[in-house]
Amino acid sequence: PAQVQTELREKLAQISANKSLEELEESVGLLNISGPVDPFCTELINQLLSHIGYPKKHHLIGLHRFENDAPILNCNSTVKLGNTKYSLIGELGKGSYARVLKATRDGQPVALKQQRPAWQWEWYIVQELQSRLPPTKMGGYLHMSNGYIYKNGSILESEWAQYGSILSVVSKLKIAGKGLDIHLAMIFSIQMISIVEHLHKCKIIHGDIKPDNFVLHSIPSADVTVPCLKLIDFGRSIDMTLFPEGTTFTKVVTTDGFQCNEMKEGRPWTYQTDLYGLAGSIYCVLFYDYMKVVKKGKKWELSTKIPRYMKPTVWQELFTPLLNVESCENIPDLSALREILEKPYRTMELSTVNQSINTLRNILLNK
């Protein structure tokens, strides 16, 4: 793999040096990649960005680049990024890749994501998504207004999701002693499927789908077409348009509990990694817990039985194809899977759906 990776980088450098931008764009899909490719390799990603002539016009809106080091972000202080002043309120989380802070700009709450060294890939993916998706579909993805790129790091400003992640929402339901709720599970699941469905139509793989990366930005309504969830954190995403048609990956990701079945078995994968993460996120809103799977014969199954009052046949019809993808050439149709849930959801009593929503509202607003 290391040799293949080196060959690919050399090829990219050669092509970049000898071609105009138009020719570059045409040649991206014609790169002759043979052997395994690590889509998360930092060097490869930087090479791909320079290869396509990043930043292009649509990447520049809100992008600010500086020659100096990034300012230090201390909680309970103010900081100036470019010409914009932010009041830093507190740290929301610190992961292996980044630190996220809550701040305000002009009195409005925002989130700031700080990374060292600078990581422009997430900005690229979010802007690409915006240019590839119809505006009506953008409601399911976190919007980034400003990207500040410094010599030693990057700070990305995004909208603030006041109710936190789906993971924190279900733990609040759990703490409040609320039993499993089929109405909320259906609303959240339908929206999550729709978000991943439209992302994949843009030929983008998120690469890190899990309950922590879906945030609740508004209280849901009984109308599932009104987005209440947003997908966040595109730092590990893969843009399939930058690889030749038919490219597959064999890189094994070690994320706890979110390693797709193809990785476990050493088989090639593409969109399967997202489908597995989607299954895990749906499981979380269904059971208020992390998903565990077992292989029985040739089939992967949930290790937990779905209670009868939760319509087990409906959910099984959804989990089976998500956990047992035939091959990279036969990825299940997400709109058909979404319909599996939408059909029974449409027959549900509106008053009971609203009752579930009101219970959630009261818990989230501490009433």
Last residue of a domain, one of 125, 142, 159: 159
* Cis previous bond, 307, omega within 30: no
Asked if residue 94 and residue 150 are part of one domain, the reply reads yes
Asked if residue 284 and residue 339 are part of one domain, the reply reads yes
Asked if residue 118 and residue 96 are part of one domain, the reply reads yes
Asked if residue 154 and residue 100 are part of one domain, the reply reads yes
User: Which one, of 99, 97, 98, 117, lies nearest residue 43 by Cα?
Assistant: 117
Asked if residue 123 and residue 187 are part of one domain, the reply reads no
In terms of C-beta density within 10 A (0-12 exposed, 13-18 middle, 19 or more buried), how is residue 31 classed? middle
pLDDT, tens digit, 9 for 90 and up, residues 156-194: 999 999 999 999 999 999 999 988 999 999 999 999 999
Asked if residue 170 and residue 147 are part of one domain, the reply reads no
SS3 106: coil
The percent of residues in the chain predicted with pLDDT above 70, rounded, is 89
The rounded distance, in Å, linking the Cα atoms of 26 and 190 is 36
pLDDT, tens digit, 9 for 90 and up, residues 12-65: 655 555 555 455 545 554 454 556 789 999 999 999 999 999 999 999 999 999
Asked if residue 270 and residue 173 are part of one domain, the reply reads yes
Termini Cα distance of the chain: 56
Q: For the residues 263-292, what does the mean pLDDT come to? A: 97
Q: Is 178 a known ligand-binding residue? A: no
Query: At 95, is the pLDDT very low, low, confident or very high (cuts 50, 70, 90)?
Result: confident
Identify the active-site residue in 208, 212, 233, 239. 208
Asked if residue 134 and residue 264 are part of one domain, the reply reads no
Asked if residue 175 and residue 88 are part of one domain, the reply reads no
The rounded distance, in Å, linking the Cα atoms of 227 and 193 is 12
Residue 360: what pLDDT?
97
Asked if residue 174 and residue 152 are part of one domain, the reply reads no
In a domain, 58, yes or no: no
Count of structural domains within the chain: 3
Asked if residue 258 and residue 195 are part of one domain, the reply reads yes
pLDDT, tens digit, 9 for 90 and up, residues 206-255: 999 999 999 999 999 999 999 999 999 999 999 999 999 999 999 998 76
Clarify whether 208 is annotated catalytic.
yes
User: Which one, of 187, 210, 219, 161, lies nearest residue 345 by Cα?
Assistant: 187
- Determine how β-strand 144-149 pairs with β-strand 108-115: unpaired
SS3 102: strand
In a domain, 114, yes or no: yes
- Determine how β-strand 214-216 pairs with β-strand 154-159: unpaired
Asked if residue 268 and residue 235 are part of one domain, the reply reads yes
Q: Is the dihedral of CA 31, 34, 37, 39 positive or negative?
A: positive
The rounded distance, in Å, linking the Cα atoms of 300 and 261 is 8
User: Domain limits at 101?
Assistant: 63-159
Q: Are 15 and 27 in contact (CB under 8 A)?
A: yes
> Can you point out the beta strands (E) in 170-323?
204-205, 214-216, 229-231, 238-239, 293-296, 299-302
Q: What is the CATH number of the domain that holds 188?
A: 1.10.510.10
Provide the mean pLDDT of the chain.
92
